Chain A
Amino acid sequence: MWAMAMKEFRQMRRDRRTLAMMILLPVLLLVVFGYAASFDVDRVKTVVVGSRAEQVAAALPERFDVIQVSADQGREAAVERLRDGDAVVGVVTAETGRPQVLVDGADLFSARSVVTELRGRPELPAPEVLFNPGLETSAIMVPGLMGVVLVFVGTIATALGVVRERQSGTLEQLAVMPFRARDVLLGKLLPYLGVAVVDLLVIVAVGVLLFDVPFAGSPLVFALGALLFLFVTVGAGVLISTVSETQGQAIQLAMMTMLPQILLSGLIFPLQAMAAGVRWIGYLLPLTYFVQVARGVMVRGTPFGALLLPLGMLAGLGLAVFGLSVARFRRDLAPAGPRRHADASDTSAAEAARTEAGAR
């Protein structure tokens, strides 16, 4: 038994990446996710419109973070701001009577906190929940979970597919065939993209038909967001494959990219409830923007123009990640780097030559 344990310990010690993950990662995850794990939204972005907007805005409790006060706009403008995702609460005032409070039900935790507060204070008006009137969790989670599935297919499956080529030794065979690096890369990726698109269609159908998730917006805008997101996730898969020697390493790295996305993208914990430092990590993650696009299009019916920022971020992240992955992949196939080919026999030849030279 001790011999076995000693062998295992020696092997573990040499697999430094796994060892580092086993020791450092739990600490890192605990610290980061500890700051992220909060459902409590302290402040909600609010627009106040209507003739008594100034007066009502001044009287709102501190939780309502008033970002716009407009006396010459009405309910329609407030709904538009909520649909575009600019604000969570819209207060519509009139010359007489109590103001209307509109709440964005697509921002589930913020909406719940507002609804709870307003219902507990009879002196304030009852809220009207838009887009997700029943404050259903599934309506919010399913669009985001589509992103998780796409990360799984795009990143993990792609990384494994490319690493398998390296691990089985056939990457060297491809390197001597008359392919350009981009032909190899795109040829490898197309089937995965195809599967991911089929996956996407199935998930949307299941979400809409089984979980009654609304699809209020444009399918084209949703498709654009999903394709841009796939662009990033597939690029991340290729990037992971270029730094992984084995499928096990690829899975480890893919999981390391997947876990923060699930926890820091706003999919589970609201971004506005996270500590600022952790929230900024979330702003670097593609799932953050896909969640915004998917929830915006499906639940709120957000138009293309209001989603330019998340779509642009997805495009930018895609270009950065894919560009880097193509560059690294090209290096894998190019003839420039003899070191990458240094197998045991070549290395020993090299070492022998050096030893001999040193002896003279």
Chain B
Amino acid sequence: MSRESWGCSGLGVRYGGTVALQDVSFEAPAGAVAAVVGGDGAGKTTLLRALAGTVQPSAGTVRRPDVRRLGYVSAGPGVWSDLTVEENLSFSGRAYGLGADELGRRIAGLLERTGLTGARDRLAGRLSGGMRQKLALAMAVAHQPDLLILDEPTTGVDPVSRAELWRLLAGAAAGGAAVVVATTYLDEAERAATVLVLDRGRSLLAGTPDEVLAATPGLVVEGPARPDGLPAWRRGARWRAWSSGGSTPPGTGAAAFDLEDAVIVAQLRQHQGRAA
């Protein structure tokens, strides 16, 4: 398996006259999981499609392996609902040129790892959301790609299946693949080696989760009530706020903030910059 680093530099994508991505740079090193984070409309899908080669960039460069060394799970179902689990895996494996013996071995291994052995003959359309996503992932890794791209594989999936999917992603990375996964869940992104946060088609934050946290300016404070005069947001039953000057308002204390707080702070800074 190749140890190259895949990704893009200065990537821009236009839809006609409008800009979907602008000057986005991103690294997906081999053997690691890279997360692309952002809300609805941030440009995650466009970035992943540009990486996969289904969207033509208008600017910048994309580094990706040959299509035979690429695995992709789209935001759609990603599986053929009127084929069985085994037929889906078989189709995918054959499409990538696996021979019958090798394919049989890999299918057995993938069914085992994904816990789908018992559902081998079940139509994909009759699988639960989590099982379907595991099947889509198994199809994408059947040919042991160098670059594995997944568009929100855990959206709408129950917590247990999410954990299993991340275990499988980690397994693919451990096998040497560069794994790029788009997600709206920031707690998931914290498990990744690197994170790219997109906002309105632009790079908002990038780096390892620790680097992103370390780069957060000011202070995130927490208290039982909404602090006056500071931009604040709820986390569970408590309020958090960003103190750009690093002061601690009465009734609050410094919070052990996480990636979600860091992204909120980055967005607040961007809004303040625009307003100024």
Contact = CB atoms under 8 A, between A and B. Distances in A.
A357 B68 CA distance: 39
The 8 closest A-B pairs by CB, nearest first: A169-B76, A348-B41, A350-B18, A176-B72, A350-B20, A349-B43, A353-B19, A352-B200
Contact of B78 (A170, A349, A354): A170
Given A341-B45, A341-B49, 16 more contacts: A169-B77, A170-B79, A172-B54, A176-B74, A178-B95, A341-B54, A342-B20, A343-B75, A345-B45, A347-B15, A349-B201, A352-B200, A353-B200, A353-B202, A354-B19, A356-B200
A357 to B, nearest CB: 7
Interface of B: 13-22, 40-46, 49, 52-56, 67-68, 70, 72, 74-81, 92, 95-97, 200-202, 274
B274 to A, nearest CB: 8
Nearest to A351: B18
Contact of B201 (A172, A179, A343, A353): A353
Interface of A: 168-170, 172-173, 175-179, 335-339, 341-354, 356-357
A330 to B, nearest CB: 13
Nearest to B53: A335
A338 B67 contact: no
Contacts of A338: 13-15, 20, 46, 49, 55-56
B76 A168 contact: yes
A176 B201 CA distance: 23
A338 B13 CA distance: 8
Contacts of A349: 20-21, 41-43, 46, 200-201
B200 A173 contact: no
Given A347-B15, A353-B19, A335 B55 contact: yes
B77 A170 contact: yes
Given A169-B74, A173-B76, A335-B56, A350 B19 contact: yes
Nearest to B92: A177
Nearest to B18: A350
A346 B45 contact: yes
B22 A353 contact: yes
A39 B16 CA distance: 53
A337 B56 contact: yes
Nearest to A170: B80
12 contacts: A169-B75, A170-B79, A176-B74, A177-B95, A178-B97, A338-B20, A338-B55, A342-B15, A343-B45, A344-B41, A349-B41, A352-B200
A243 B20 CA distance: 25
Given A349-B42, A350-B201, A176 B96 contact: no
Contacts of B79: 170
A208 to B, nearest CB: 36
Contacts of A348: 40-41
Q: Specify which of B15, B53, B67, B68 lies most central, judged by the most chain A CB atoms within 10 Å of its CB.
A: B15
Contacts of B49: 338, 341
A169 B81 CA distance: 11
A181 to B, nearest CB: 13
A18 B40 CA distance: 31
Contacts of A336: 56
A244 B236 CA distance: 46
A339 B46 CA distance: 11
B202 A170 contact: no
A169 to B, nearest CB: 3
Contacts of A354: 17-19
A345 B38 CA distance: 11
B56 A346 contact: no
A353 B199 CA distance: 9
A172 B95 CA distance: 15
Contacts of A353: 18-20, 22, 200-202
